[in-house]
Structure 1
Amino acid sequence: MVVFRYLIREILITMAAVTAVLLLVIMGSRFIRYFADAAAGSLPVGLVGSLMLFHMPGFLQLILPLAFFLGIMLAYGQLYLNSEMTVLQACGFSPLKLLGISLWPGVFTGILVGLCSLWLTPLGLATNELTLQQQSAQADFSALSPGRFQDFGSGRTVYAEHLSENRSRLENVFISEGQDATDDSSHVVTRAESGYQVNDEQTGQRYLVLSNGHRYTVEPGGNAAERLDFATYAFRIESVASERDLDDVELQSTAQLLTRDDSDARAELQWRLSLALMIPVLTLLAMSLSRVDPRQGRFAKLLPAIMLHVVYLSLLLSAQEAMRDGVLATYIGVWPIHLAFLLFGLWLLRRTFGQRRGR
């Protein structure tokens, strides 16, 4: 029991360290993207934290299998370096028994990965997509920064010298409208002392109302312009089209996918299951690749192991795309890939430890 707890603790500690490093790197790159969008004014700063939180399950479902794989390799590699594994095997801990011990943290990791891939990740993606669509539909002033030219949708560029404290009113407004907004070849420039947003309760449309300003209409290349002075002028704010439909299979729950019989749904469902099924296969591979000679060092087989994991994951992704495109039948799907790597893991385990028993 002491050895059992010791081995599991070594695997989990190493796995946690690898997970923390990989999660920090991946989330850091995504945070930089969101922070750049917020700095450009296309995303309110207050949404960055929630968007990152709901993206975390999607990161974890990819990081945890690799972290568990490397955790076994690094933990057992250190035991081989210190000759502790030799002592354990001399005391009766056969490779099969070590494999059984390694599968216990594998079950725990598989449950976490399955929880992320089957439930939390689609929920988080759908929540983020809905949040971004609502933000685009509102097109309010929360993302505007005073003193900067920013895209306001529908071909309009807005500049405001000041914003009120509650960010509901613009002051000293400049608006440039291109062909997308005017539906002709003219270009319209509008200046106003102030502006605010109103909602039409009957139609649900949103309008930007400008006060005390001038509106200039010019033809590109022309030397004449039309000027309109106004006390109040309003134009409709159109919602920005969303990049992705909420009916996308990646955003649907696993229960919804089970009710569908199309290739897209089947491919997505097999992909979500595959992330958890990788864990026992990776355990077999890690058991063999973790065995190193003291002169080699614990990192001797690390690069080949990472490349093997990348090939495994890439083949699963390719099979998923092939199923969506109709090239690969869904009843075949990703299962031959899992079977091939499982057989390779068994062969590698027999080859590695069988030769040692022979010697």
Structure 2
Amino acid sequence: MIFHQALRRELSFTTGGVFLVLVTIMITTLVIRILGFAANGAVNPEDALVLIALATIGYMAVLLTVSLFVAVLIVLVRWYKDSEMIVWFASGLSIASLIRPILRFATPLIVIIALLALFVWPWANRESTIISQRFKQRSDVSMVAAGQFRESAKAERVFFIEELDVDKGEVKNIFSAETKNGRLSVAVASTGFIENAAGGGKSIVLNNGRRYEGLPTQPDFRILEFAEYVTNIRNKDALEPPPRDREKTVMELLNEQNPRQLNESRAELLWRVGLPLMALGLVLIAIPLAYVNPRLGNYTAMFYAVLIYLIYSNLLNLSQNFVSQGKIPVFVAAWPIHALAFTIAFLLIRNRINPSLKWWRRQLPSFLANR
């Protein structure tokens, strides 16, 4: 019981520490990426924090899987290195006795990973897509703001209004630049007003201003004075795009009726179900993988851990792609990778139970191995 309490306490602290480190790295990467999108005009800078939070929440299942695997490995490696496992073995316990307390600690986290993968992951992806699409589909009406230069969604028009009276619909000191058919048109006026057109559209009417059209270095450059100039504002409804596979709920994936989307939906469901199974397989593999000779005290187990995780996750993604392309049925691709991981974990644990025997004898039952 004392061993179990110490193991649970160390696993809790280590998992929390590793998780915080991974979240910090993830947030730093997302900040750089999303701020780059905001600088390029792909997303609204005001939505950057929301998009970073949604992306972090979406990848929480993957981060928890890695944190759990690394935490079990770090704790057991330290126990071997500090000869605490010698005390464990001297108490009449074997490496197989570690499975139950570690699984007791890992099971709630694996359940959380499953919930995050099945429900939170599609919700976060869907919300991020909606926010991004609404910014891309924004109407030019949203550009009308006093004292600010506003660019249209397709970067073809720029507005500047110094003063805006919303109640009266009047504007003052208007600047409008538009690129059309490769020609630049700039209109300026001291006064104007917003006019509601038929069909719900809007336009800005400029009074007593000037219009500059063309390039100053070209012979067809023109300067026009006008008494009234109308600039139409396209008022578009922000339409929600159809959800992608990674944005669909579990029920939508299960009830998919479109034959063209059937394989993609099954592949997405395969990945979501496979993530908690991968977490369980990695935890079982980490128990025998953490063995370290106390006299040597090296950390080669960490190298193997990184290699195993990369192979496991890439195989899971590869099976998802094969199912998505229709090369492998989903029921065939669902079990071999996880069955292989559990088999490897079983063989490695059997290997560590009695290391004095040859590797092939360790796989035999005890009454045969001792002959």
Q: Distance in 1 between matches of 2:131 and 2:225?
A: 38
Please report how far the alpha carbon of residue 135 of structure 1 lies from its aligned counterpart in structure 2 after TM superposition: 2.5
3-state DSSP of counterpart to 2:330: coil
**Residue number among 141, 146, 153 corresponding to 2:143 in the alignment:** 141
Q: Residue in 1 aligned with 2:312? A: 312
Query: For the Cα contact (< 8 Å) 1:129–1:246, is it kept in 2?
Result: no
Q: Residue in 1 aligned with 2:186? A: 190
3-state DSSP of counterpart to 1:327: coil
Query: In 2 relative to 1, CA 156–283 (structure 1 residues): closer, same or farther, beyond 3 Å?
Result: same
Q: Residue in 2 aligned with 1:21? A: 21
Q: Residue in 2 aligned with 1:288? A: 288
Q: Residue 279 in 1 paired to residue 271 in 2?
A: no
Letter in 1 for 2:246: E
Output one character per residue of 1:45-75: Cα deviation in whole Å (capped at 9) or x when no partner.
Answer: 4322222222222221111111111100101
**Residue number among 231, 234, 243 corresponding to 2:231 in the alignment:** 234
TM-score (norm 1): 0.84
Q: Residue in 1 aligned with 2:220? A: 224
Output one character per residue of 1:275-311: Cα deviation in whole Å (capped at 9) or x when no partner.
Answer: 1111221112101111111244363211221111011
Output one character per residue of 1:304-359: Cα deviation in whole Å (capped at 9) or x when no partner.
Answer: 21111011101111111111111222221232111112212212222233315789
Letter in 1 for 2:186: T
How large is the RMSD of aligned CA atoms in angstroms?
3.5
Q: Distance in 2 between matches of 1:195 and 1:317?
A: 60
Q: Distance in 1 between matches of 2:145 and 2:41?
A: 5
Query: In 2 relative to 1, CA 74–200 (structure 1 residues): closer, same or farther, beyond 3 Å?
Result: farther
Please report how far the alpha carbon of residue 119 of structure 1 lies from its aligned counterpart in structure 2 after TM superposition: 0.6
Q: Residue 6 in 1 paired to residue 3 in 2?
A: no
Q: Residue in 2 aligned with 1:103? A: 103
3-state DSSP of counterpart to 2:61: helix
Output one character per residue of 1:210-237: Cα deviation in whole Å (capped at 9) or x when no partner.
Answer: 5554344449996214555443422233
3-state DSSP of counterpart to 2:300: coil
Q: How does 1:335-346 map to 2 (within 5 A)?
A: 335-346=335-346
Q: How does 1:260-271 map to 2 (within 5 A)?
A: 260=256, 262-271=262-271
Q: Residue in 2 aligned with 1:256? A: 252
Q: Residue in 2 aligned with 1:125? A: 125
Query: For the Cα contact (< 8 Å) 2:151–2:159, is it kept in 1?
Result: no
Q: Which moved more, 1:91-100 or 1:43-52?
A: 43-52
Letter in 2 for 1:111: V
TM-score (norm 2): 0.81
Query: In 2 relative to 1, CA 71–220 (structure 1 residues): closer, same or farther, beyond 3 Å?
Result: same
Q: Residue in 1 aligned with 2:368? A: none
Q: Which moved more, 1:203-212 or 1:6-15?
A: 203-212
Query: For the Cα contact (< 8 Å) 1:38–1:143, is it kept in 2?
Result: no
3-state DSSP of counterpart to 1:64: helix
Letter in 2 for 1:234: T
Q: Residue in 2 aligned with 1:182? A: none
Q: Distance in 1 between matches of 2:147 and 2:127?
A: 26
Q: Residue in 1 aligned with 2:329? A: 329
Q: Distance in 2 between matches of 1:97 and 1:75?
A: 15
Q: Residue in 1 aligned with 2:179? A: 177
Larger Rg: 2
Please report how far the alpha carbon of residue 201 of structure 1 lies from its aligned counterpart in structure 2 after TM superposition: 8.6
Query: In 2 relative to 1, CA 12–300 (structure 1 residues): closer, same or farther, beyond 3 Å?
Result: same
Q: Distance in 1 between matches of 2:155 and 2:85?
A: 67
3-state DSSP of counterpart to 1:153: coil
Query: In 2 relative to 1, CA 249–348 (structure 1 residues): closer, same or farther, beyond 3 Å?
Result: same
3-state DSSP of counterpart to 2:333: coil
Matched pairs, number:
349
3-state DSSP of counterpart to 1:191: strand
Letter in 2 for 1:273: V
